[in-house]
Amino acid sequence: MISRSFGIISSKSDVYSFGMMLLEMAGGRRNANPNTANSSQAYYPSWVYDRLTQQDHVGEISAHVDTEMHELERKLCIIGLWCIQMKSHDRPTMSEVIEMLEGGVGTLQMPSRPFFCDEGHVHTEDTYHLSSELTEISEDMSENIDV
């Protein structure tokens, strides 16, 4: 299935949605917060990523005090960030997500920052490369579609 807005819709689209849900569950808030005073907080995954990479405890993301809960929140956030990687091939499969959820937080590696988290740091070159990649994907897909 192909969406005009988002390209190919696949099981990796479901992984992305599941990742956003994990982030919202861990932080106790939705992705969109119209009351944010700072534009860097407007995109919730970017804010979560910044907090995790600054070695802050996820306690700042939520008001929970229990340390076990902090670990669970951290785990959900890291897995959620893996699930929302921009390129679908960088996202785990749902079976890999289940393995991550069953494992310990100590075994999880931090994913790379999804490019859309760097709203203020997007360079023209990056935009060009992304545009080129999307064009190539679109051309590849149109060649494979039988009309």
Cα 74 from Cα 71, distance rounded (Å): 5
Cα 79 from Cα 111, distance rounded (Å): 9
CATH of the domain at 57: 1.10.510.10
Identify which of 93, 102, 121, 128 has the alpha carbon closest to the alpha carbon of residue 16. Answer: 93
Residue 36's domain comprises 2-144
Per-residue pLDDT tens over the stretch 37-71: 555 455 788 888 888 887 544 445 444 445 555 88
Distances in whole angstroms, Cα of residue 31 to Cα of each of 2, 25, 75, 122:
25, 10, 18, 21
With vertex at residue 135, the alpha carbon angle to CA 131 and CA 136, rounded to the nearest 5 degrees, is 120
Predicted pLDDT at 87 = 86
Q: Which residues of the chain have pLDDT under 70?
A: 1-11, 29-42, 55-69, 114-147
How many domains is the chain built from?
1
Counting Cβ atoms within 10 Å, is residue 8 exposed (0-12), middle (13-18) or buried (19+)?
Answer: middle
Predicted pLDDT at 40 = 47
The answer to whether the predicted template modeling score (pTM) of the entire model surpasses 0.75 is no
Which residue is it, tokens 């590849």? Answer: 140
Q: Burial code of 84-116, b = ≥16 C-beta within 10 A, e = fewer?
A: bbeeeeebbeeeebeebeeeebeebeebebbbe
Predicted pLDDT at 65 = 42
